[in-house]
Structure 1
Amino acid sequence: MSNTPCSANPFTPISTCIEQVDIKGQYIQLAAPIQLSGQLNIVELLAQYPINEESEQAPIQIGIDEAGRGPLLGSVNVAAAILPATWSGLIEDAPLKGTPLSILTDSKQLSEKKRDILYPLVQQYAVGHIVADIPAAVIDQINILQATMLGMRLCTEVLLEIIAKHFNTSVERQFEVLIDGNRCPDLDYASLDKLGIKESVIDCQAWVKGDARHTSIAAASILAKVSRDKTMYALDAQYPEYGIAKHKGYPTRAHMEAIETYGVLTAHRRSFAPVRKALENVAHTESGNR
């Protein structure tokens, strides 16, 4: 993985551009940069997960979720969140009761108004959080599944890299990486090992509907969903005729009619069948008019 800092401080806040990456042993130049942004509070992390060589260490739980796999337009956003130790756990056990995040659950079960309320609260109270914005060009380059897995991998690795620089790696801290879905990303364990984080201390778990089960995944779901919606509203302001604020890039009738009337945008995912078909129809019409 090759990255370049987008700001002078690569720790807190986190602001990183990924332009090249190793995917399954193949080192590739990405079609467009992946932007990662967030924050990690090292002081709070050390306070919440203190190093105690005489007792078993509480695992640092990293929840990960995505938003935007299905739309025809825009980025897929992947987010990771580390909550305070006592706030991390199964939602059904109510570890968030009495906290500012007490209404937190799967973002899809919350209204947009509640998600917008929770978004800054998650950013404020999470020990660490990060969002990866994987643009349409990368989705078209490596497919939506691999783009999503890459986002999950990058969020995990960037957080672990920063943690490794500030924690005593001679004490083998345990990490629980909780993924919403049915598979875990392929982490670059060789690079993590060089930082002092061995594969054996990383327990990656895939949870179907995990955003309704684990508080840390639910927190990540809020970050991913709201951050993606923000990019959709920005595109809507730029291209109001497409009605993006309403359909958020999903293949609704209104969206398909807008594509037919106004054409395919740069932000559209050309590898997705409806967009590909629209482009083919345009090419066929143009060839017929020659």
Structure 2
Amino acid sequence: MLCGIDEAGRGPIAGPLSVAGVIFINEVKELNDSKKLSEKKREELFPKIKENCHYHIVFKSAKEIDQKGISTCLKESIIEIMNTLKNKCDGNIDFLMDGNTSFGINTLQHKIKADATIKEVSAASILAKVSRDRYMNEIAPNYKEYDFDKHKGYGTKSHVEAIKKYGRSDEHRVSFRLKALGEEKIGVQKNLF
């Protein structure tokens, strides 16, 4: 039994990190890396994936990312997914994360571009991305000046301009420094792997 794990939101300057794990019960077709699918296709696949698998999705807020660092938040999310899905499923589970590190977790395998080649990781990629995008769309009306629904918290030119004009909101990651604002890095993040 394979559990695919992937994240969305590692790089944005606002909004949460979203990490998902998926173990299929029934097959779902037309899967791919979420970044290679249109928003419409991701939304279409989202309920199909949820109906045909055991899954768990973890969110880490901008505040948690600032306090703990992105690597710690990722590691905690992965461990929560592993523990939750072990309790839901009988039998041995192999855990596979998209990317080039296992975050110091002995029972976690990793593979670069697994989100494009392993269906469980593709599905996790879609669950993580759609969940995070929906969150950013949901909060956008409360933060109209930032247009979160358009860029989902990534550091686009218009987003950086809005930060220059209005400062950061409580959804922004203060620890993510912006060269465009003349900010220096505030210490090197601890490497967990």
TM over 0.5: yes
Q: Which amino acid aligns with 2:162?
A: A
- Out of 34, 46, 54, the residue aligned to residue 107 of structure 1 is 34
Task: Give 3-state SS (helix, strand or coil) of 1:239's partner.
Answer: helix
**Structure 2 unaligned regions, length at least 5:** 185-193
- Out of 167, 175, 185, the residue aligned to residue 93 of structure 2 is 175
Inter-partner Cα distance in structure 2 for 1:104 and 1:157: 25
Task: Give 3-state SS (helix, strand or coil) of 2:178's partner.
Answer: helix
Aligned to 1:130: 56
Could you tell me how far 1:174 is from its partner in structure 2? 2.5
Task: Give 3-state SS (helix, strand or coil) of 1:129's partner.
Answer: strand
Q: 1:264·1:278 contact (CA, 8 Å) conserved in 2?
A: no
Could you tell me how far 1:149 is from its partner in structure 2? 2.0
**Structure 1 unaligned regions, length at least 5:** 1-59, 88-100, 168-172, 188-198, 281-290
| Number of aligned positions between the proteins | 184
Inter-partner Cα distance in structure 2 for 1:102 and 1:114: 12
Could you tell me how far 1:278 is from its partner in structure 2? 7.6
Aligned to 1:158: 84
Aligned to 1:269: 173
Inter-partner Cα distance in structure 2 for 1:175 and 1:102: 22
Q: 2:177·2:183 contact (CA, 8 Å) conserved in 1?
A: no
Could you tell me how far 1:239 is from its partner in structure 2? 1.1
- Out of 226, 231, 252, the residue aligned to residue 135 of structure 2 is 231
Q: 2:98·2:110 contact (CA, 8 Å) conserved in 1?
A: yes
Inter-partner Cα distance in structure 1 for 2:109 and 2:78: 12
Alpha-carbon distance change, 161 to 125 in structure 1, aligned in 2, over 3 angstroms? closer
Could you tell me how far 1:207 is from its partner in structure 2? 0.7
Q: Which amino acid aligns with 2:93?
A: F
Alpha-carbon distance change, 185 to 153 in structure 1, aligned in 2, over 3 angstroms? farther
Could you tell me how far 1:224 is from its partner in structure 2? 0.1
Q: Does 1:117 align with 2:44?
A: yes
Q: Which amino acid aligns with 1:263?
A: G
Inter-partner Cα distance in structure 1 for 2:144 and 2:50: 30
In the TM superposition, 1:14-93 aligns within 5 A as 60-84=1-25, 87=27
Could you tell me how far 1:66 is from its partner in structure 2? 0.1
Alpha-carbon distance change, 156 to 245 in structure 1, aligned in 2, over 3 angstroms? same
Q: Could you tell me the percent identity over the aligned residues?
A: 39
Inter-partner Cα distance in structure 1 for 2:131 and 2:175: 23
Structure with higher strand content: 1
Q: Deviations over 1:130-183 (max 9, x none)?
A: 1000111111112112211221121111211343xxx4xxxxx33210110111
Choose 1 or 2 for highest CA Rg: 1
Aligned to 1:208: 112
Query: How large is the Cα RMSD of the aligned pairs?
Result: 2.1
Q: 2:57·2:128 contact (CA, 8 Å) conserved in 1?
A: yes
Could you tell me how far 1:185 is from its partner in structure 2? 3.7
Inter-partner Cα distance in structure 2 for 1:278 and 1:271: 14
- TM-score, scaled relative to structure 1: 0.59
Inter-partner Cα distance in structure 1 for 2:142 and 2:47: 25
Q: Deviations over 1:241-271 (max 9, x none)?
A: 2111111111111001111112210110010
Aligned to 2:189: none
